Amino acid sequence: MVSGAFSAFDVAITAPPFQWHRICRILQLEYSPEEPLSVLLQSIGERLKQYKLTVYSSAVTVLADPELHVEPCPQGALEWHWESLCSLAGLPEVTHVETVRAWYHQRMIETLLDPGQSFPLVSIVIPAYNESEALLRSTVRSALSQTWPNCEVVLIDDGSQRPASELLGDLVSRVRCIRQPNSGVAEARNHGIAQSRGEFIHFLDADDLLDPTCVEEKVRVFQAVADLELCFSHYRCEGDNGVKNADNHIVPKVGDEFCPSRGLLQTVLQRFPFQISSIMLPRWVALDAGPFDRDLRQSQDNRQWFRLALRGTKVAGLNRDLNTRRFRPGSLTSCSSQSRWYAIQSYLRNFMDMCHRPEHWISLPVYFKRALHHNRVPLLFQLKSRKAERLRNELIRCLESMSAVGARAGLSSIPVVESMRWKLAELFEKNPDKIGAGLFEQLGQAFDRITADAPEISETDLRLWLDTPMTSSMWEESCPAIRQLELGLTSLADRLPRQQAEFWQHRFFQIWHAPSKKTMEALQAAPVDRELLKAA
Mean per-residue pLDDT for 234-242?
73
Q: What is the DSSP letter of 330?
A: T
Rounded Cα distance, 207 and 130, in Å: 11
Range 200-220 average pLDDT:
93
* 59-72 tens-digit pLDDT: 444 433 333 333 33
Helix (H, G, I), strand (E, B) or coil at 485: helix
226 Cβ contact list (under 8 Å, min separation 6): 14, 79, 80, 81
State yes or no: pLDDT of 366 exceeds 50: yes
Per-residue pLDDT band at 489 (split at 50, 70, 90)? low
Give the architecture (CATH level 2) of 122-334: Alpha-Beta Complex (3.90)
245 strand-pairing partners? 236
The pLDDT value given to residue 213: 94
Confidence of residue 91 (pLDDT cuts 50, 70, 90): very low
391-425 residue pLDDT tens: 777 777 777 677 666 666 555 445 565 566 556 65
Q: pLDDT band at 103, cuts 50/70/90?
A: confident
> For 327-365, what is each residue's pLDDT tens digit?
765 555 544 556 677 777 777 888 888 877 777 777 777
pLDDT computed for residue 350 by the predictor: 81
Percent of the chain with pLDDT over 70: 43
Look at 48-57, 212-221, 305-314 and tell me which has the smallest mean pLDDT. Answer: 48-57
Locate all alpha helices (DSSP H) within 290-444, ordered by sequence: 300-310, 336-355, 364-373, 376-380, 386-408, 415-427, 433-443
Distance CA(54)–CA(64), nearest Å, equals: 9
User: What would the pLDDT profile of 252-286 be if each residue is shown by its tens digit?
Assistant: 333 334 444 445 666 666 666 678 898 999 999 99
Domain parsing of the chain, residue ranges: 11-113, 122-334, 336-444, 451-536
Beta pairing partners, 53: 62
pLDDT of residue 282: 93
- At 74, the pLDDT band (50, 70, 90 cuts) reads very low
Q: What was the pLDDT predicted at 144?
A: 95
Residue 439 to residue 522: CA distance in whole angstroms: 23
Q: What is the pLDDT of residue 422?
A: 55
pLDDT of residue 486: 56
Dist CA 401 CA 407 (whole Å):
10
